[in-house]
Amino acid sequence: MSHWAYCEDLSAATAVIGDTEAHHLLNVLRIGKGTELILFNGLGVVAEGVVVSSTRRDVTCQILSRRTAAKSSKGSLTVIVAPPKADRLKWMVEKLTEVGVDRMLMMQTQRTVVTPGDTKVDKLKANVVAACKQCGRPFFMEILPLQSFASVLNEIKAAGDQQASWIAHPGLAAASDQKANLPVVQGNVNLLIGPEGGFTDQEVAQAVEAGIQPMAWPGTILRIETAAIVFSTLLLSRRHES
């Protein structure tokens, strides 16, 4: 099986892979001349290539074929989440990328502890690249910087019926079969996940008033990253069934 590698420019007859990606190919995977690779630019273009030369800093591939992947016509899923700490945030980013979430927006709530800045957001994009290579995903999951809970609600209200939104919180709409109670949704979907300690009662009330539908996992309280992955998977699986 050919390894996937990220390359920003796949428009020419040859593609040059540099920086950390080239280092990984040369020093970890030990690729050499004649090695076949699958190259992607994170924007839907995927190419088959073969290594024709390399230096200590870059790898040059001849493009054998290329295609442009189509995004789903069934809409997008945005996970709006109060970020967990350190490695748990990185792990969550990787897994949300793997299951097919379109974008992740980090949210500042009353109980949010972690508030990543722009530098952290840029570093998280490396986790997205790694996850795409691992799972064979041609599109990057977009990561959006920290936004206030009030701002999130305002944007959801402004969108109106053009999208559907859910808020995950213990004790809300608990059911023995959560999946069976989720409708099949076409179009853009938002999923709100709170911080450790959950949303405040005021935030939950404001969300419901804004038309956001409640959901909960029956029986147990999930951590931030667990809830994000579980409920994302449920929503995506319902979409795939349609």
Of 38-47, 49-58, 101-110, 173-182, the poorest mean pLDDT is in 173-182
Calculate mean pLDDT across residues 174-195: 70
Question: What pLDDT digit, counting tens, does each position of 129-167 carry?
Answer: 999 999 999 999 999 999 999 999 999 999 887 889 999
Of 189-193, 202-206, 211-215, the poorest mean pLDDT is in 211-215
Domain boundary at 11, 43, 68, which?
A: 68
Please indicate, yes or no, whether residues 47 and 100 belong to a single structural domain of this protein.
no
Please indicate, yes or no, whether residues 94 and 190 belong to a single structural domain of this protein.
yes
Please indicate, yes or no, whether residues 154 and 230 belong to a single structural domain of this protein.
yes
Question: What pLDDT digit, counting tens, does each position of 109-130 carry?
Answer: 999 998 888 778 889 999 999 9
Instruction: State the CATH number of the domain containing residue 61.
Output: 2.40.240.20
Please indicate, yes or no, whether residues 61 and 110 belong to a single structural domain of this protein.
no
Q: What is the pLDDT of residue 170?
A: 85
Domain boundary at 50, 68, 86, which?
A: 68
Q: How many domains does the chain have?
A: 2
Q: How confident is the model at residue 80 (pLDDT cuts 50, 70, 90)?
A: very high
How far is C-alpha 124 from the chain's CA centre?
10
- Of 144, 143, 152, 239, the residue nearest 194 (C-alpha): 152
Please indicate, yes or no, whether residues 195 and 215 belong to a single structural domain of this protein.
yes
- E strand residue ranges, 93-210: 103-108, 142-148, 163-168, 188-193
Q: How confident is the model at residue 187 (pLDDT cuts 50, 70, 90)?
A: confident
Rounded Cα distance between 147 and 158, Å, is: 16
Q: How confident is the model at residue 73 (pLDDT cuts 50, 70, 90)?
A: confident
Domain boundary at 21, 38, 68, which?
A: 68
pLDDT at 171 over 80: no
47 lies in which domain range? 3-68
Please indicate, yes or no, whether residues 24 and 118 belong to a single structural domain of this protein.
no
Please indicate, yes or no, whether residues 24 and 86 belong to a single structural domain of this protein.
no
Please indicate, yes or no, whether residues 42 and 111 belong to a single structural domain of this protein.
no
Q: What is the pLDDT of residue 175?
A: 42
Please indicate, yes or no, whether residues 132 and 174 belong to a single structural domain of this protein.
yes
Q: Hey, how many other C-beta atoms are within 10 angstroms of the C-beta on 214? A: 16
Instruction: State the CATH number of the domain containing residue 132.
Output: 3.40.1280.10
- Mean of the per-residue pLDDT values of the chain: 90
Q: What is the pLDDT of residue 184?
A: 61
Please indicate, yes or no, whether residues 140 and 48 belong to a single structural domain of this protein.
no
Please indicate, yes or no, whether residues 90 and 114 belong to a single structural domain of this protein.
yes
Q: Hey, how many other C-beta atoms are within 10 angstroms of the C-beta on 143? A: 21
C-alpha dist (Å) from residue 96 to 6, 84, 110, 163: 19, 14, 24, 20
Please indicate, yes or no, whether residues 34 and 120 belong to a single structural domain of this protein.
no
Q: How confident is the model at residue 218 (pLDDT cuts 50, 70, 90)?
A: confident
Residue 43, helix vs strand vs coil: strand
